[in-house]
């Protein structure tokens, strides 16, 4: 019950205006400002527009950090029904996904959905903790081609978890009374992806497009 309360609180409220990732990663700092997000009244333009005076790389990093948290928390509600047995392949509808990170796993590997998500979260967490990728020092620069090399791959892989949840575990999300939380997060996620062109390949958008067109979000 305590976990579910935290989940609903986390997903029903989203920081806006967001502080930069250089503040988000620090334990000290000013309190966050919260805004209630209701999917039927969600003004995604307000949420995805680059705030005045904000560096685009900072904005991309902050949102990557936030959506990583969203997906982590949402998927965490499904650990009882998304198992190696129930989901032996990581997929979104008819699209299957292999895992490769180029470091620990250098060749595409077939994994279960829980394994894929675990690998993904560890992979993103490692980047978040890397000061050269998600810098916290005010004067620290972001890497060259930051969006293309770091942010876009994170969003592409996070999109697969959203897809898996919708195609495979939507009923469980409904049973937990978390569909509005999922819809709100996905609506925001896709608006951000489209605004900053983070997923451009048709094959990567294919399982997500029907969700948008059918009004799932």
pLDDT digits (tens, 9 = 90+) for 145-178: 999 999 999 999 999 999 999 999 999 999 998 8
Helices (H), 27-151: 44-48, 56-76, 113-128, 146
Q: What is the pLDDT of residue 18?
A: 40
State the Cα–Cα distance between residues 134 and 140, nearest whole angstrom. Answer: 9
State the Cα–Cα distance between residues 55 and 45, nearest whole angstrom. Answer: 18
The count of other CB atoms within 10 Å of the CB of residue 148 is 11
List the structure tokens of 200. 């451009």
Helices (H), the chain: 2-12, 21-24, 44-48, 56-76, 113-128, 146, 152-175, 179-195, 202-205, 209-213
Q: Which one, of 117, 89, 87, 119, lies nearest residue 104 by Cα?
A: 119
List the structure tokens of 213. 């067109």
Q: What is the pTM of this model?
A: 0.83
Q: Which residues have C-beta within 8 Å of that of residue 44, sequence separation ≥ 6?
A: 187, 188, 191
For residues 155 and 53, the model is more confident at 155
Q: 3-class DSSP state for residue 91?
A: strand
What pairs with residue 109 in β-bridges? 99
41, 188 Cβ separation under 8 angstroms: no
List % helix, strand, coil for the chain (3-state, nearest 5): 55, 5, 40
pLDDT digits (tens, 9 = 90+) for 65-123: 999 999 998 999 999 999 999 999 999 999 999 999 999 999 999 999 999 999 999 99
* Average pLDDT of span 53-60: 93
For residues 89 and 41, the model is more confident at 89
């Amino acid at each position: 019950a305590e976990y579910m309360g935290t989940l609903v609180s986390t997903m029903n409220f989203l920081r806006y205006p967001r502080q930069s990732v250089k503040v988000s990663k620090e334990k000290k700092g000013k309190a966050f400002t919260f805004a209630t997000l209701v999917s039927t009244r969600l003004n995604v333009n307000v949420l995805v527009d680059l705030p005045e005076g904000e560096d685009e790389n900072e904005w991309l990093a902050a949102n990557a950090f936030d959506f990583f948290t969203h997906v982590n928390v949402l998927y965490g509600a499904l650990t009882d029904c998304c198992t190696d047995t129930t989901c032996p392949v990581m997929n979104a509808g008819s699209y299957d996904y292999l895992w490769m990170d180029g470091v620990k796993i250098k060749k595409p590997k077939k994994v279960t959905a829980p394994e894929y998500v675990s690998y993904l979260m560890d992979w993103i967490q490692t980047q978040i903790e890397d000061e050269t990728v998600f810098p916290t020092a005010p004067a620290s620069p972001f890497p060259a081609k930051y969006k293309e090399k770091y942010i876009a791959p994170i969003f592409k892989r996070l999109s697969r978890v959203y897809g898996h949840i919708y195609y495979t575990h939507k009923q469980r999300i409904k049973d937990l009374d978390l569909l509005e939380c999922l819809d709100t997060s996905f609506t925001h996620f896709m608006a951000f992806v489209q605004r900053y062109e983070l997923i451009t390949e048709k094959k990567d958008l294919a399982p997500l497009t029907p969700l948008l067109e059918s009004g799932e979000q």
